[in-house]
Structure 1
Amino acid sequence: MMSPVKLVAILLAGLCSFTVGVRRHEDSPDGHLLAADTVERVKEALAEGANINVQDEVNGQTAVMRATLHGWTSIVAYLLDQGADVSIGEKDGYTPPHGAGFQGRAKIMSILRDHNVDVVSPAEKDGFTPFHRACWGRETRHTETIRYLLEDLGVDANLKGGPDQQTCFQMTPNAKTRALLVQHGAGNAEL
């Protein structure tokens, strides 16, 4: 069995595609949409004829995935209201709920859920859920995402995931997340 620290390091290296990539800023409506960082720019690109579900040629991210990763809640909400397809994965197949977990975006997780998006299912590629991805983060925002998933959606604090079927408690390097998990019935009895 791989150590939790080594597993997290490998997974984080593989998930760098969430935030790393070179977008082609073509002089086209699709390029403008992929480069948009405000709702106004999104509206302009869509008015120019951009495909709301266009994918970046390098990292496969859609505009809604990019906005999710950056924490641009108003853009995510607007794109969802306009019918953006959140089932389109980036180059490794990860979708906005997994990006929201990985980046610790509780508000975006809530917006996705409000638009009837499944924010608790595992990714086919690795078996980790958005909950587990939030467990890897060290920031307070990751703990807040865990709080949202536990308290608002009822995710089991002892949910196992990934190839080694580990719990969030076993995976997290975040002391605040560990304390929150303990409050919700998680523990190290299985370690």
Structure 2
Amino acid sequence: MSETTLTPEQTERVLAIALDLARVGDTEALADFVDHGVPADSSDASGNTLLMLAAYHGHADTVRALLDRGADPNRRNARDQSPVAGALFKGEDEVVSVLRKAGADLDAGTPTARATAAMFGREHLLAD
């Protein structure tokens, strides 16, 4: 967090708020948090990044904002799941498109995005 030194408790609270903002897709507020020092690749205890949470919950604008601020489209959580596979699982077509344009690796993670698409009949989303 930039100029102000926060206590560990304050840092934990700021992170919790940022994670909630990603879940609900409050793009403007989350972008402000990141612009003021919250790392774009912040994650919860399970390794779910802000990007993963925004992607999983279908918030394409929030995903774009995080990517614009340096979030890694390929960072996987502790269960080796990728944001693009999560978006495919949830049927979030626009998010899948945004992540693909950002260079999401369709062969990374367990299951891969390709395997997830095949499981749910969404292979067309991965066609070039």
Task: Give the alignment's TM-score, normalised by structure 1.
Answer: 0.54
Mapped to 2, the partners of 1:147 and 1:83 lie a distance apart of 28
Q: 1:51 aligns with which of 11, 31, 39?
A: 39
* Bigger-Rg structure (1/2): 1
Question: 1: distance between equivalents of 2:27 and 2:48?
Answer: 18
How far the C-alpha of 1:54 sits from its partner, in A, is 1.0
Partner secondary structure for residue 29 of structure 2: helix
Question: Could you tell me how far apart the structure 2 residues matched to 1:107 and 1:64 are?
Answer: 14
Determine if contact 2:73/2:102 at 8 Å carries over to the other structure: no
Instruction: Answer whether contact 2:56 2:87 (CA < 8 A) is retained.
Output: yes
Instruction: Report the count of equivalent residues.
Output: 115
- Distance in 2 (alpha carbons) for counterparts of 1:78 and 1:131: 25
Deviations 1:5-33 (A, max 9, x none): xxxxxxxxxxxxxxxxxxxxx422x2222
Query: How far off its partner does 1:50 sit?
Result: 0.9
**CA RMSD, 1 decimal:** 2.1
The yes-or-no answer on 1:31 pairing with 2:39 is: no
- For residues 87 and 114 of structure 1, the distance between their equivalents in structure 2, rounded to whole angstroms, comes to 12
What does residue 76 of structure 1 align with?
63
Cα shift readout 1:22-56 (whole Å, capped 9, x = no counterpart): xxxx422x222211131112122123421111110
- Identical columns (%): 26
Gaps of 5+ in 2: 1-11
**What displacement does 1:131 show?**
2.6
Look up the equivalent residue of 1:132 and give its one-letter code. A
Q: Match of 1:81, as an amino acid?
A: D
> Any conservation in 2 of the 1:101–1:131 contact (CA below 8 Å)?
no
Note if 1:131 corresponds to 2:114.
yes
Q: Gaps spanning 5+ residues in structure 1: where?
A: 1-25, 138-142, 154-191
- How do 1:171-182 and structure 2 match up within 5 A? none
TM-score relative to the length of structure 2: 0.76
Counterparts of 2:32 and 2:86, CA distance in 1 = 25
How far residue 101 of structure 1 moved from its aligned partner, in angstroms, is: 2.1
Q: Find the aligned partners of 1:132 and 1:96 in 2 and give their Cα distance.
A: 14
Distance 2:108 2:66 in 1: 23
